[in-house]
Structure 1
Amino acid sequence: MRVDVLVFDGVDDLDVTGPFETLSMARRAGADVSVRLVAEDERTAVTTAGGLRLGPVSPWSPVVADVVLVPGGGLASSQRPGVAVELGRGQIPAALREAVRPGLVLASVCTGAFLLAAAGVLGGRKATTHHMTMKALAEAGAEPVDARVVDDGDVVTAGGVTAGLDLGLWLLERFHGPEIAARVARGLEYERQGAVWLAGSVA
């Protein structure tokens, strides 16, 4: 499983590092998983909302990914880097829209869901985001679900901030089985939180 984490200036620190570490640990647990940071432009590093410099950042190449994971951060203000600025620029939503193909899973953490919505992939789809922005998610065309992770097939969304850990673990379970996910959770010393909503059932 190859996971590309799409980053941008103003991204929330834990939205990126939570799932990144979770997925990176899977290789040490025996799973064929690779994870990297990518950007839709040619930058080689980004600065998070907390001031953390992240890199190296690889070029955007979703055709070779199994999962493109979109973190959130900075939805509330367009006066500083973050999701609101990226929505205004429109380049990330356009890149995500063009990336859609059979076999590719688009995933998001927190307000990264709004970049998926702007790409047109959440219309009428079950999804989740940070609890404070659920109403706005409905206004963006999704059908909000009160769950930690929502798996709607080729679109998988997670709630706010720390839910990125549960997203990473769910992706491991979905692609590599519950034993790998459990092994990574033990390594993280993390107890999985909340429910995973699946089309037709709750895991």
Structure 2
Amino acid sequence: MAAQIVLFDGFDPLDAIAPFEVLAAGSDEVGGALEVELVSAEGPRRVVSGTRGLALEATSVLDPDRPGYLVVPGASGPVDGDPDDGVETIPVLLARMAQSTAAPLIKQALTNHEVTVAAVCGGSLALAMAGLIENRHAVTHPLGMDVLEATGVRPVHARVVDDGNLISASGVTSGLDLALYLLEREYGPHIAHAVEQLFVYERRGTPWRRPPA
């Protein structure tokens, strides 16, 4: 089983690194059964984040057919500014990601019953802008909840929202909570608790789960 952390130009570093570290620690707890890696739609490359030029290396191509989890981070950058003046605001970066070659791959992953897509912060906005999660329950950063609703998504005010094969988390630090929730869901609370102890971190809030049909 794999956990693919999807990188794109302008991504938020903590949205990617927090889940990466938590899931990697969880993998150690289960004897390496979970393969955690950084990927991009274009394949192996250096991907520059939206925070002071910090870059990470994607080591593989995003594979929507690979069983496991696909984690989509949000973007970082200025909130306000005129795109006509070359200011790459967070909305601009998320819209660009929604129109990128990653979007159809994520769409394919959402149709695969062996894959769960997990979005951190603005990652769910990018999915919403791409038209991939209409009528689904999701959360994003508080500043983007109205945008989420305007795209046809059902906003839920919770730190982590579980809508089956779509899981989302609120602001940037909630990537920790999201990844711990994924570990609990996949391997049980004892694994999530072990990683919590290792990181000296306690999850916040009660995850919202979609009621049974």
Q: TM-score by structure 1 length?
A: 0.91
Deviations 1:8-48 (A, max 9, x none): 11100100000000000012223521111111113512011
User: For residues 94-113 of structure 1, what are the structure 2 equivalents within 5 Å?
Assistant: 94-99=104-109, 100-113=111-124
Partner residue of 2:64? Answer: 62
User: For residues 102-181 of structure 1, what are the structure 2 equivalents within 5 Å?
Assistant: 102-181=113-192
The answer (yes or no) to whether the contact 1:96–1:119 under 8 Å persists in 2 is no
Per-residue deviation, 1:118 = 3.4
Cα distance in 2 for partners of 1:153, 1:42 equals 28
- Letter of the aligned partner of 2:42 in structure 1? D
- Letter of the aligned partner of 1:48 in structure 2? S
The answer (yes or no) to whether the contact 1:93–1:118 under 8 Å persists in 2 is no
Partner residue of 2:16? Answer: 16
User: 1:63 aligns to what SS in structure 2?
Assistant: coil
Cα distance in 2 for partners of 1:119, 1:65 equals 22
Indicate which of 68, 72, 75 corresponds to 1:73.
75
Going from structure 1 to structure 2, the CA distance change for 1:54 and 1:65 (only over 3 Å counts) comes to farther
Using the aligned pairs only, state the percent identity: 36
User: 1:62 aligns to what SS in structure 2?
Assistant: coil
Cα distance in 1 for partners of 2:201, 2:61 equals 32
Cα distance in 1 for partners of 2:26, 2:44 equals 27
Partner residue of 1:48? Answer: 49
Cα distance in 2 for partners of 1:131, 1:143 equals 14
CA RMSD of aligned residues (A): 1.9
| Greater than 6 Å deviation, 4+ residue runs | none
User: 2:75 aligns to what SS in structure 1?
Assistant: coil
Q: Which moved more, 1:108-117 or 1:74-83?
A: 74-83
Per-residue deviation, 1:74 = 4.1
The answer (yes or no) to whether the contact 2:40–2:58 under 8 Å persists in 1 is no
Cα distance in 2 for partners of 1:129, 1:164 equals 11
Q: Which moved more, 1:71-80 or 1:108-117?
A: 71-80
- Letter of the aligned partner of 1:49 in structure 2? G
Q: Which 5+ residue runs of structure 2 have no aligned equivalent?
A: none
Indicate which of 74, 89, 102 corresponds to 1:92.
102
Q: Which moved more, 1:58-67 or 1:104-113?
A: 58-67
Cα distance in 2 for partners of 1:56, 1:6 equals 8
Q: TM-score by structure 2 length?
A: 0.87
